Amino acid sequence: MKIPPSTPRVTGGGAAQPGDAGRANGASGTTAPPTPGGDAVRLSPLSTQLHALASSLSGPEFDRAKVDEIKHAIRDGKLAIRTDVVADRMIRDVEERLAKGGK
């Protein structure tokens, strides 16, 4: 199926107007260079932020070496848990979360 060249381009909002191909809309988004048929795609700033977030999350979620070290310490009976430190860090974490939610 052939798509006629008058088909509007895909944008972050609203329908594209004929002749708008390749025109950037200032700071509202990023526009790809027009193709020979005049089609272009504009990405919203939110899309760009989501892409950056996905890239930052693509790494390992935990330190495998540290997990293995803790497993060995548990297995060997050498893991010392300081409950006072754990409790203090849990309280600090809750306080930080409450402070962020209160803004």
Q: Which residue's entry shows tokens 């107007």?
A: 17
pLDDT tens digits for the chain (103 residues)? Answer: 666 665 455 555 444 444 444 444 444 455 556 667 778 888 898 998 998 888 877 776 788 999 999 999 999 999 999 999 999 999 999 999 999 985 5
Q: What is the pLDDT of residue 99?
A: 93
Cβ distance 30 to 43 under 8 Å? yes
Contact 79, 70 (CB under 8 A): yes
